[in-house]
Amino acid sequence: IYTMGVDIGSTASKSVILENGKKIVATAVVDVGAGTSGPSRVMSEVLEKANLTMDDISFTMATGYGRNALEEADMQMSELSCHAKGAHFLFPNVHTIIDIGGQDAKALKIGDGGHLENFVMNDKCAAGTGRFLDVIARVLEVDVSDLQDLDAKATKDVTISSTCTVFAESEVISQLAKGTKIEDIVKGIHYSIASRVGSLAKRIGLKDDVVFTGGVALNKGMVRALEQNTGYKIHTSPMCQLNGALGAALFAYQKQRNLERKSKKLV
């Protein structure tokens, strides 16, 4: 049995194909999200990588911000449940998920069985989200993907005192004018986000294993900053951006099995 999970976020579309609810057959990420060609492109891409067609997929589960617009899906599920499910597959001992996405940040409390117990979320303020990194990267004239390498080269601690993205942008401009090195500024920015998101996570309480997901989790500088801020070992995986799609594919497998059981009873 093949099942597919599709996670349509605000800034990216992600998909995972799973075999028998256990083996990841293929994954794909497209850098545009809801309301674009992203969802259909990510599905073609993941099918091609798996060397399958839509007819081979038993059940497709959509999640994420744009999940209701995906006509190909058999069902939709909340991204929070999918995140919990995906992280529990990758890290069976997960109890806290910190997720920083393109324009929100959330912290999830996960029970022993991998179910969602509680969560807190910020989607009102750009500070502490991926958007903050986008804004600062633009000012520094670097690519967001370069931020982790820059952070690794930092030699001095620079404090960005404004929490607001807009005021922090001005602070960065005046640091540049003072001759502060870009790498030191980048490290300061990572600490700033870590402090915002760390406070968010502390509201639900942290417990090992702490798993960091979402696109921003690919940035090792952010991982280090979060470890320093929270005092916990932070687990990530190259799959971290695909966590929601993975959870959706896992739920798709469960649904498919339930359907099969029911149809057997009917026969």
Four-point Cα dihedral 93, 19, 52, 59, nearest 10? -90
Q: Could you say whether residue 135 binds a second copy (CB under 8 A)?
A: yes
Residue 178's SS3 state is coil
Least Cβ distance, residue 11 to ligand SF4 (angstroms): 17
Q: Is 165 in the site for ligand SF4 (CB under 6 A)?
A: yes
| Contact predicate 99/106, CB 8 Å | yes
175 contacts a second copy (rule: CB under 8 A): no
**Closest alpha carbon to 47 in 15, 79, 24:** 15
- x/- map, 67-106, a second copy, by CB under 8 A: ------------------------------------x---
51 versus 174: smaller Cβ distance to a second copy = 174
Tokens 């969560």 locate to 119
Partner residues linked to 121 by β-bridges:
106
164 binds ligand SF4 (CB under 6 A): yes
Three-class secondary structure of residue 204 per DSSP: helix
Query: Residue 162 burial by CB count (10 A; 0-12/13-18/19+): exposed, middle or buried?
Result: middle
Rounded to a whole number of angstroms, the minimum distance from the CB of residue 143 to a second copy is 19
Q: Using an 8 Å Cβ cutoff, are 94 and 109 in contact?
A: no
Residues 54, 164, 173, 259: which binds a second copy (CB under 8 A)? 164
Other CB atoms within 10 Å distance of the CB of residue 84: 26
Part of the chain binding a second copy (CB under 8 A), chosen from 78-86, 119-127, 138-146, 178-186 = 119-127
Going by C-beta distance under 8 Å and a sequence separation of 6 or more, which residues neighbour residue 22?
Answer: none
Given 6, 84, 126, 242, the residue binding a second copy (CB under 8 A)? 126
Give the separation between CA 135 and CA 153, rounded to whole angstroms: 21
Which of the residues 101 through 140 are near ligand SF4 (CB under 6 A)?
A: 125-127
Residues binding a second copy: what is the number (CB under 8 A)?
13
- In terms of CB distance, is 110 or 126 closer to ligand SF4? 126
Residue 131 touches which member of a second copy, ligand SF4, none, C-beta under 5-8 Å by kind: a second copy
Query: 120 or 206: whose CB is closer to ligand SF4?
Result: 120
Q: Which is nearer to a second copy, 151 or 171 (CB)?
A: 171
* Residue 211 interacts with which of a second copy, ligand SF4, none, CB < 5 to 8 Å by class: none
Q: Which residue, chain included where needed, has tokens 């960005």?
A: 160
d(CA 112, CA 219): 28
Residues that bind ligand SF4 (CB under 6 A): 125-127, 164-166
